[in-house]
Structures are given as structure tokens and as C-alpha cells.
Structure 1
Amino acid sequence: MPTREEHASSLRDSVTQALRARIVAGELPPGTRVVERQLAEQLGVSRVPVREALRSLEREGFVEERATRGMVVRRLDPDDVEMLFAVRESLEAVLAQRLVAVLDDAGLAALDELVGRAEGHADAGRLGLAVAANADFHSALVELARSSVLSSIIEPVSGRMAWLLNQHTDPAAMLAEHRSIVTALRSRDAERTAAVFRAHLATSRDAVRRAGSA
């Protein structure tokens, strides 16, 4: 039977994941004030795990405390954005090499299915679901690399990247590039795959820069 401490830790982690997911999905847009009492009522928990979860999300860079408004969802400044892309670019170079080395036919089929799902949602005008499917595609790339070390390093960055891209990019426009990634991986050509990963990230960076200057 779990101890009281283990139960509290599990509850805090669950609340943290739930709130992070809401932020990444855009349900809590940048600038939104997050109130412990309201969140506790919505999640059916006490205010303690919500308070602890918000502190964790503050350390991760998703929320910040302001003197006049309390805790709010952060807006990333241009320097944050550029550094996030720089870190992601370095990590994706490693990820591309790893995937070429270990990805099998079942993994490629899983990626094809995710791209098809996103395409179906986009064609039907279900943009929220298309965004989620595109995020699942990137999560699957990390999972299919089958490296706990790589996953532990990439996942915190991936969450913030998904949050950023959901705010600024057209999910339908990403589909062709995701298909190009799968095609490159199927070729087993490490150099080609790394180039496709870089091009995809560059497209995303340009979209974010355009949105920031609009």
C-alpha cells in the first residue's frame, strides 16, 4: 500500500501533468491568471497539490508570479524563444541519428498512422485535434528512439516547444513536413534525415518570428 508521502507525490505529479497539458494545448493562454481555488475545484483536489504543481510549473518556465496579479501563464520573450530553438536544434541532431539507427518498420508504420490522423482532423476542420496529433508525432519520435537518457533530456524542451508552436503555427502546414520526416527515416540515410529535421525546425522558427513581429 502506498505511503501517505507517496500518495501526495503521485497526486502532485498528476495535477502538474494536467495543468501543463492545459497550458500546452492553449486552454490556458499566455497572460491567463491561474487561481489555486478555482483549479482545485476543477480538478477535484485540495489546494495543496495545486499550489505545489504551480511551483513546479514555475520552475519549468510555464507560469510566473506577478506582484499585482498572482500566478499567471508566461509569455516567452524573444530571447527565450531563440534559446529554445537553439537547444532543440542540437537535440534533434542527436535524435535523428538515433532514429535512423534503431527505428524499425513497426515504428515507421506508427508514425504514418499519426500523420494520417492529423491529416484527417485538419481536413475535417478539427484544428485542435490536428494540433494534438502533430504533438503526438513529435512525442512518438522521442519514444521510438528507445533511449531513456535522450528522453529525459528532450521531454522538458519538447513540452515548451509544443506550447510555443501551438500558439503560432498552422497545424495543417506541418503535415507535409512530418511526411517528409517519415520518408527520410524510411531511407535510413542519416545525413538526409538530419537535414529534414533542420528544415522542419527552421520553418517553425520562421513562423514564430513572423508572429512575434506582427
Structure 2
Amino acid sequence: MLPTGLPQGTVPRLERPGPLRERVYEALLELITARALEPGRHLVESELAGQLGVSRQPVREALQRLNTEGWVDLRPAQGAFVHEPTQAEADQLLSVRSLLEAEAARLAALNADKAGIDALHEIAGQGRLAVAAHDVTRAVALNAAFHAKIMELAGNAVLAELAAQVDRRVRWHYTPVARLRGGTSWDEHEELIEAIDSRDGQRATRLMREHTEHTRQSYHEQDNS
């Protein structure tokens, strides 16, 4: 069920356009990704329906789809639960992310213009402010925006499409380590910007691989604590 005392605005408002089941699915997926619904939480259809202001049917359909995609576990005679990711799953995801983003960093170093570099600096500056304010939600969103911008600057549509498929899962795994990574992550982002700005594709590739490896290590550290 949804935890009590959710921060204002945590439960997404369901806009009217589009199929209801799709909007319920997106709302629940966002709550799971942001860990407002944390791994292992029991998801009760009636309570979710009440929180979202819908009937139980679209909630049931959304949970079935989330189960198919690996976000939710449906257990016989017990109900639905938010999936609890294993360390092996995290390793596999972050390994794929490392391959995709290392190539994106290399291509960005070849293709980025001044406007793109300025945009990366702006996101990095906002990220540091979010860390200083202990705003984990915003820091996670800005981290995603930073990596998405590098992917955009790479200029490879197929690479961007593949990266988009893992983006939400990366955010899901990154959220619990965002506070642990803190300003260090943004220090690494600044180094990446320097490498991209100087058109040093080899260095950008190496830095991105190291960056994703540091995230993987932090994930395992918090998981074992």
C-alpha cells in the first residue's frame, strides 16, 4: 500500500487524455521508480485505486503489466509486491549502461557544440545546488538529465533509443545511492564535461566507464550496509 505521509505532489495526478489503464500504469511506474513505493512493499489494489481516484480494474491491469516488465512480483495467494532487485540484476543493468554511455561520451566529444557544453554546465550547476540542499529527488532527476544530454549530444538515434529503454531502471537503482554519491558524482560529471569540451573521446570514454563503475560500487555498498 502507499505509505502514509507522502510528500505533497508525490502521488501523480492522472490527466484525462489517454486510456485510463495507461495513465495508471505510468503513475505506478513513476512511484516505483522514485521509490515512493519501495522494493518489497505490498501493493493493495483497493488502496492504490483510492489514492489514484480510479476503480480497481485499471490498477489490476497496470499491476499485471508491471509484473510482466519485472517491476512488480505477483505472488499466489499473497498479492502484488514491488520487486526487490538483486545485486546480480544491478550488475547486469549497470554493465549495459556503461557500454551505452561510454560510447555516447565518445561521440559527444566528437559532436558537441558550445550550446551543448553550456547545457551540461548548467545541469551540473543545478545538480550541485540540489546536493547542497539535500534534495535527493531533484539530484536524481538532474543526474538523469545530465546523462540524457550527453546521449543527445552523441547524435546517434539508435544509441539513444537503447539508452531510453534502461533509463528508468537506472534511476531506480541510482536513487538509494544518490545521497551516498553526493558531490563526488558531480565532480565526475565536471571532468566528463572537460573531456567532451576538449574533444578528447578516449578520455571521455574512460571517465564515463569509471563513473558508472563508481555508481555500481556505491550500490553494492549501500545494499550490504
Measured against the shorter chain, the TM-score band is 0.7 to 0.9
> Is 34-43 or 187-196 further displaced after alignment?
34-43
Match of 2:122 among 104, 113, 126: 113
Residues 155-188 of structure 1 show CA distances to partners (whole Å, capped at 9, x for unaligned) of 1212111111111342333111111221111111
Confirm or deny: 8 A CA contact 1:85 1:205 kept in the other structure. yes
Partner of 2:12: none
Confirm or deny: 8 A CA contact 2:105 2:151 kept in the other structure. no
Q: 1:201 to 1:14 in 2, by over 3 A?
A: same
Map 1:156-195 to 2 at 5 A: 156-169=165-178, 170=180, 171-195=182-206
Deviation, structure 1 residue 68: 4.5
Map 1:103-142 to 2 at 5 A: 103-142=112-151
1:204 aligns with 2:215: yes
Structure 1 CA distance, aligned partners of 2:145 and 2:159?
17
Aligned-CA RMSD value: 2.1
With normalisation by structure 1, the TM-score equals 0.85
Deviation, structure 1 residue 19: 1.9
Partner of 1:94: 103
Structure 2 CA distance, aligned partners of 1:79 and 1:12?
31
Structure 1 CA distance, aligned partners of 2:64 and 2:149?
28
**Matched residue type, 1:58:** N
Q: 1:140 to 1:62 in 2, by over 3 A?
A: farther
1:34 aligns with 2:55: no
Partner of 1:3: none
Deviation, structure 1 residue 212: 2.6
Structure 2 CA distance, aligned partners of 1:36 and 1:67?
15
Match of 1:82 among 83, 86, 91: 91
Deviation, structure 1 residue 134: 1.8
* Identity fraction in percent: 35
Deviation, structure 1 residue 49: 3.1
Structure 2 CA distance, aligned partners of 1:71 and 1:145?
40
Partner of 2:5: none
Structure 1 CA distance, aligned partners of 2:154 and 2:61?
32
Q: 1:154 to 1:59 in 2, by over 3 A?
A: farther
Residues 7-41 of structure 1 show CA distances to partners (whole Å, capped at 9, x for unaligned) of 42xx4333333222211212111111122332233
**Count of paired positions:** 207
Q: 1:91 to 1:44 in 2, by over 3 A?
A: same
For structure 1, list consecutive stretches of 5 or more residues without a partner in the other structure.
Answer: 1-5
Spell out structure 1 runs of 4+ moving beyond 6 A: none
Deviation, structure 1 residue 81: 1.6
Partner of 1:55: 64
> Is 25-34 or 170-179 further displaced after alignment?
170-179
Q: Secondary structure at the match of 2:66?
A: helix
Q: 1:151 to 1:45 in 2, by over 3 A?
A: farther
Structure 2 CA distance, aligned partners of 1:18 and 1:148?
27
Confirm or deny: 8 A CA contact 1:39 1:50 kept in the other structure. yes
> Is 168-177 or 26-35 further displaced after alignment?
168-177
Deviation, structure 1 residue 143: 3.5
